[in-house]
Chains A and B, each alone.
Chain A
Amino acid sequence: GIQVEQSPPDLILQEGANSTLRCNFSDSVNNLQWFHQNPWGQLINLFYIPSGTKQNGRLSATTVATERYSLLYISSSQTTDSGVYFCAVETYSGAGSYQLTFGKGTKLSVIP
C-alpha cells in the first residue's frame, strides 16, 4: 500500500514563529487533505488540496502531486495551533471506491 511520511515528527515553536510541515507519499494520489487534531482530540479539516496552493488565514498549503509531496505553512504561530497535524492521501481501492491513508502526524507545541 501507499506510504505516507510526515516530517518532522515533533516541533516546538515560540509563539509568533513560522513553520513548515511536510508530507511525502510514495505513489500517485487522487487527493490530499490536511487535518489538525487539537489537544482535546478534535479532528478538524484544514485543507482539501489535490494540487496547487490554498490559503486560510495564517495557514496555507501547497501540494505538488507530480513530485509526491505537500507542505503546510503556519505563520505567526499561536498557542492554539498546538496539536497534531495529519496529512491524508486518497487512493483508489477498487470497485469504485476510494480511501484515505493517514500519515503518523507532526506534533506541534507552541509555547508562549
Chain B
Amino acid sequence: DTAVSQTPKYLVTQMGNDKSIKCEQNLGHDTMYWYKQDSKKFLKIMFSYNNKELIINETVPNRFSPKSPDKAHLNLHINSLELGDSAVYFCASSHPLAETGQTGELFFGEGSRLTVL
C-alpha cells in the first residue's frame, strides 16, 4: 500500500494556466508538507500543515495556495503558471514527536514533475 501518494506524477502545461496537485497519506500522520526540488536537485520546504492548520509558509509567491481538507490530504494549487515554476513537487508527511513537537521521520511521496512551456 502506498503511504504517501501524489497525483498527477507528470504535468505539462502552458504558461498562464492554473493547475493542482493532490496528495494523500494513509500513515495516520498529523503533519503534511510540500517541498519543491529544482533542476539542481535542491529541496526546499514550501508549506507545512498540522491537523489542517498552516504552520510553515515559506517565501513562496501567493500564486501557490495549499489546501488541507483533512489531515490525510494536502493539495497544492498554482495559479498563472510561470516558466520558473517548472520543478518536481514532493508531498511529505510526518508524525511530530509528542514531547517536543519536532518533525519526526519524514516520508515522501513519489513527486509530481511539473513542466511549464
Residues of A within 8 A of B (CB): 30-31, 33, 35, 37, 41-45, 48, 84, 86, 88, 90, 93, 95-100, 102, 104-105
A30-B42 CB under 8 A given contacts A43-B90, A43-B108, A99-B56 = no
Q: Which B residues form the contact surface with A (CB < 8 A)?
A: 40-45, 48, 50, 55-56, 88, 90, 96, 100-108, 110-111, 113
The answer for the CA separation of A13 and B100 in the assembled complex, in Å, is 40
- Return chain B residues, CB-CB under 8 Å to A37: 41
Provided the pairs A97-B48, A99-B48 are in contact, do residues A104 and B40 lie with their beta carbons within 8 angstroms?
yes
Out of A96, A99, A102, A104, name the residue touching B103 (CB < 8 Å): A99
Q: Which residues does chain A contribute within 8 Å of B90, judged by CB atoms? A: 43
Excluding A97-B55, A99-B45, 10 further A-B contacts by CB distance (< 8 Å) are A30-B102, A35-B106, A41-B111, A42-B108, A42-B110, A45-B108, A88-B43, A90-B103, A97-B50, A98-B102
A33-B106, A41-B110, A99-B56 as given contacts; A84 in contact with B101, CB under 8 Å: no
Given A93-B56, A104-B40, A104-B42, verify A98-B110 contact (CB < 8 Å).
no
A86 contacts across to B, CB distance below 8 A: 43
Return chain A residues, CB-CB under 8 Å to B107: 45
Cα distance A84–B40 when bound, in Å? 11
Indicate which residue in A44, A48, A97, A100 contacts B101 across the interface (CB closer than 8 Å). A97
Specify which of A43, A88, A90 lies most central, judged by the most chain B CB atoms within 10 Å of its CB: A43
* Chain A contacts for B100, CB-based, 8 A: 30
What is the bound-complex CA distance between A74 and B103, given in angstroms? 26
List of B residues within 8 angstroms of A102 by Cβ: 42-44
